[in-house]
């Protein structure tokens, strides 16, 4: 079933009535992109977006962050750090008015520093010192 957005339908079907693909939930309004910050709740994820706000007094930009609770359909597999697109819907609870409609392919980094390159650096430094002579 088409939901009116240019997104691919998940392959696995779900029995969630609040799924825009396999249930009766319709999407409307704005779509947002952000990163999943929390998956601690059942059927809900927190999507965090970061954006710049101009500060005219100092002629600079300031970073702001907003956290939007969104419904997580069971047909989409999400983890913390995934980049997703959420769409506005009717209110699903007191704070939830968005649903996850698409997950982007992301490359996950390992830890804060990314990949570990210390082994190749040690080998290069030994060969540069002339230790193999």
Whole-structure pTM value: 0.73
Q: Which of 18, 9, 12, 4 is nearest to 97 (CA)?
A: 18
Question: Considering the domain boundaries, does residue 2 fall inside one?
Answer: no
50-109 pLDDT, tens digit per residue, is: 999 999 999 999 999 999 999 999 888 999 999 999 999 999 999 999 999 999 876 555
Helix (H) or strand (E) holding 13: none
Give me the domain span that covers residue 62. Answer: 12-106
Total domain count, the chain: 1
Residue 97 inside a domain? The answer is yes
What CATH number did the domain enclosing 64 receive?
2.40.50.1000
Q: Tokens for 65, please give them.
A: 């962050």
Residue 123 lies in a domain: no
Nearest to residue 5, comparing CAs of 132, 101, 71, 99?
A: 101
């Amino acid at each position: 079933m088409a939901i009116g957005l240019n997104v691919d339908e998940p392959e696995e079907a779900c029995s969630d009535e609040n799924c825009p693909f396999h249930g009766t939930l319709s999407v409307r309004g704005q779509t947002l992109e952000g990163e999943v910050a929390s998956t601690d709740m059942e059927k809900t994820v927190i999507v965090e977006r970061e954006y710049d706000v101009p500060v005219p007094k100092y002629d600079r930009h300031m970073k702001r962050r907003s956290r939007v609770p969104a419904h997580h359909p069971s047909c989409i597999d999400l983890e913390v750090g995934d980049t997703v697109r959420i769409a506005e819907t009717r209110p699903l609870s007191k704070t939830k008015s968005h649903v996850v409609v698409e997950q982007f392919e992301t490359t996950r980094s390992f830890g804060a520093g990314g990949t570990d390159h210390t082994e190749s650096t040690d080998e290069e430094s030994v060969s540069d010192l002339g230790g193999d002579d």
